[in-house]
């Protein structure tokens, strides 16, 4: 009777220790395992801390946390809810993504497949540099330049495209959700472009040649070979950008109108986001108010988790096709 040797799938047998342990194996194993456990412990500690802080506030709340729009946790009879803030976070981030994604893909394709090699190098460097600009700088630029500037374009959109619900409303303001979304869009553009460029550059030459040999133009080659190959990567990049837009704090705290309404009228002086509200409110918050803000932070975490999971599902759905043989 032979006992089959048990192995990790695709790896060497680990069921039995190697017959001669090399020196350093023990400490190394201890260090890596310790690092892994430490990470989990820190995560758990943060989660416990946040929940412990949030629970008393949630218990003191006299309204329903998930559906209430008003945010007055510091009053003697605290009333607060996440509805308006979560809505503002989601709509401003999606607007930012819709504006940034096509531009980012265009920039990435230009760098990877159209620009001469020298120009591509310079452009790629500039994009990386843009990604490194601190967000407060974008926020200040938004306050000082974009808010006054947006008055004109916003009026134009409202006058001629007012029939689209997004641009409807009786009055338009520079300090609006749209302005904040534009700043967010510019902020997430570099990271989406940088990741997409990397993905597009990895498109296999054999697939590019396959379409060229069929008589494809350069754009047709990109559509047949590069974009399908890069699709999962671009989705990941977009989700990273979306996550960054949702979590962005300082820039939008400076720009958003900071009211607690749910409205699709992105040109009006209404709107806020979870992160902006935390930044604006934490300084003067009572203990209950702080707990309320922490609870809102937990909601933001859940939203980003949902978005990321959705992205993974989208990528996994076409797994059968993405197992590239070439």
Q: Which residues bind another protein (CB under 8 A)?
A: 117, 204, 206-207, 209-217, 220, 224-225, 228-229, 231, 318, 320-326
* Closest separation in Å from C-beta 228 to another protein: 4
Closest C-alpha among 248, 245, 243 to residue 309 = 243
3-state secondary structure of 80: strand
Give the residue with the Cβ less far from another protein, 225 or 249.
225
* Closest separation in Å from C-beta 208 to another protein: 8
Give the residue with the Cβ less far from another protein, 66 or 326.
326
Give the residue with the Cβ less far from another protein, 163 or 321.
321
* Closest separation in Å from C-beta 322 to another protein: 7
Tokens 């993974």 locate to 312
* Closest separation in Å from C-beta 122 to another protein: 17
Give the residue with the Cβ less far from another protein, 228 or 247.
228
- Tell me the backbone φ, ψ of residue 74, rounded to 5 degrees: -90, -10
Pinpoint the alpha helices (H) of 248-286.
250-255, 274-281
* Closest separation in Å from C-beta 169 to another protein: 43
Q: Left if phi > 0, otherwise alpha if psi is -120 to 50, otherwise beta: which for 86? A: alpha
Do the beta carbons of residue 72 and residue 78 sit within 8 Å? yes
Give the residue with the Cβ less far from another protein, 113 or 197.
113
* Closest separation in Å from C-beta 209 to another protein: 7
Q: Render 46-62 in DSSP notation, one character per residue.
A: HHHHHHHHHHHHHHH-S
What is the C-alpha to C-alpha distance for residues 319 and 260, in angstroms, rounded to an integer? 42
Do the beta carbons of residue 71 and residue 280 sit within 8 Å? no
What is the C-alpha to C-alpha distance for residues 187 and 244, in angstroms, rounded to an integer? 9
Give the residue with the Cβ less far from another protein, 12 or 215.
215
Look at the chain and count its residues. Answer: 326
């Amino acid at each position: 009777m032979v006992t089959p040797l048990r192995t990790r799938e695709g790896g060497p047998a680990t069921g039995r220790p190697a017959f001669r342990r090399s020196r350093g194996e023990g400490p190394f194993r201890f260090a890596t395992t310790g690092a892994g456990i430490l990470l989990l412990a820190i995560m758990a500690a943060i989660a416990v801390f946040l929940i412990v802080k949030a629970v008393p506030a949630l218990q003191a709340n006299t309204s329903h946390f998930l559906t209430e729009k008003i945010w007055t946790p510091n009053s003697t009879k605290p009333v607060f809810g996440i509805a308006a803030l979560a809505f503002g976070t989601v709509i401003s981030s999606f607007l930012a993504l819709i504006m940034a994604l096509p531009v980012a893909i265009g920039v990435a394709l230009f760098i990877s497949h159209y620009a001469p090699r020298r120009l591509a190098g310079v452009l790629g460097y500039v994009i990386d540099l843009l990604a490194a600009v601190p967000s407060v700088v974008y926020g200040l630029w938004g306050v000082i330049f974009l808010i006054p500037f947006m008055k004109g374009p916003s009026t134009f959109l409202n006058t001629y495209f007012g029939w689209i619900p997004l641009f409807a409303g009786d009055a338009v303001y520079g300090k609006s959700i749209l302005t904040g979304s534009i700043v967010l869009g510019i902020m997430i553009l570099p990271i989406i472009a940088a990741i997409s460029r990397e993905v597009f550059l990895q498109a296999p030459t054999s697939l590019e040649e396959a379409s060229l040999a069929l008589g494809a133009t350069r754009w047709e080659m990109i559509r047949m070979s590069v974009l399908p190959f890069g699709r999962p990567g671009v989705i990941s990049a977009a989700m990273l950008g979306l996550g960054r837009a949702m979590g962005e704090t300082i820039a939008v705290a400076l720009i958003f109108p900071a009211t607690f309404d749910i409205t699709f009228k992105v040109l009006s002086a209404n709107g806020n986001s979870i992160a902006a509200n935390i930044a604006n409110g934490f300084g003067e918050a009572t203990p209950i108010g702080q707990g309320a803000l922490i609870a809102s932070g937990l909601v933001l975490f859940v939203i980003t988790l949902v978005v990321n999971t959705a992205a993974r599902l989208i990528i996994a759905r076409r797994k059968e096709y993405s197992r590239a043989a070439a």
